[in-house]
Amino acid sequence: MPYSAVPYCGPAAVPAGFWAAWNLDPWLLAGLGGLIAVHVAVYGRPGATWGWPAAAFGRQRRPGGGRNHSTFTAAWLVLVVAFVSPLCALSAALFSARVAHHLLLVGLAAPLLVIAWRGLFARLVSGRRLVPMAALHVALFWFWHAPAPYAAALASVGTYWVMELSLFFSALLFWTAALDRRTSTAAFAPVVIGVMAQMGVIGALLVFAGQPLYAAHATTTWPWGLTPLADQQLAGLIMWVPGALPYLVLLLARVHRLLAQQEEELARQPNLPLRSDAPVVRATGRMPRGVSRR
């Protein structure tokens, strides 16, 4: 199948003009500006967590909104890097850049935006929906990195945005459920480990495929000194290791929080003896404050 259509990000970037290949699509810039407008409306003044959505969601204003600004700014800047910077044009040339682009969306921009707007997203999905949200997130990730759907996304601007938005919004739903503190550990641990593992599986399939799978990059990788197969293997390595890191961080943060909660509960019982081989002692290497050793 010939790939004469120009992808959304423009012609495949080449080294000579890479730093000039910024994407200044007015609709994209308007969308990014709209995100700022929503954030200002919701968290526009220090001490205001809820603005106009308060009545719609049945919530009251409460202090602490100011600390969401830095997290939102980080999420917004990640979106700018993914869609406006020359990385967008590079992703039309290299499949490895496309994978990096998608990982920025689902593994960095999505969780940062969920943290910044946690109260808003929490009204859409709770931790009880973690399993279906994870399944949706994984299914869409596999689907859009299969050769045929991926080729269709590069050949059509409309399909491209279906790919990008479905990946991003499924990641928002997954991270909202995963970051819900009400999610039980019994459900949380295997789901997050499963999502992390599937990144490794996709990465291994790309690394060990033995032949190029993405015809759209059959000629676009050569100016960058990469064969299509080498580019595909690099994409697999990116997905295999960096792609799993956000989920590993999420898992370790949950373990740390559980240990801290256990230590706090034990500290509130100063006369309770504690075995030296208790989990919190083994994990931290010290006895909780106010707890005697048995």
**73-128, pLDDT tens digit by residue?**
999 999 999 999 999 999 999 999 999 999 999 999 999 999 998 777 777 776 67
Q: How many residues does the chain have?
A: 294
Three-state DSSP string of 96-126? HHHHHHHHHHHHHHHHHHHHHCHHHHHCCCC
Residues 27-36 have pLDDT tens digits of 999 999 999 9
DSSP 139-163: HHHHHHTSHHHHHHHHH-HHHHHHH
Higher pLDDT, 83 or 288: 83
H/E element holding 14?
none
pLDDT at 60 exceeding the cut of 50 = no
| 38 CB-near residues (< 8 Å, 6+ apart) | none
Is residue 256 a part of any domain in this protein? no
Amino acid at 6: V
Is residue 277 a part of any domain in this protein? no
Rounded to the nearest angstrom, the gap between the alpha carbon of residue 164 and the centroid of all alpha carbons in its chain is 12
Average pLDDT, stretch 206-218? 94
Is residue 160 a part of any domain in this protein? yes
Q: Residue 90 sits in which domain range?
A: 15-240
Number of domains in the chain: 1
Is residue 274 a part of any domain in this protein? no
DSSP state of 215: G
Is residue 5 a part of any domain in this protein? no
Is residue 265 a part of any domain in this protein? no
> Hey, what's the torsion of the CAs at 193, 77, 89, 158, to 10 degrees?
70
Residues 213-263 have pLDDT tens digits of 999 999 999 999 999 999 999 999 999 989 999 999 888 888 877 777 667
Is residue 258 a part of any domain in this protein? no
Average pLDDT over all residues of the chain: 83
Residues 139-187 have pLDDT tens digits of 999 999 999 999 999 999 999 999 999 999 999 999 998 888 777 777 7
pLDDT tier at 46 (50, 70, 90 boundaries)?
A: very low
Is residue 293 a part of any domain in this protein? no
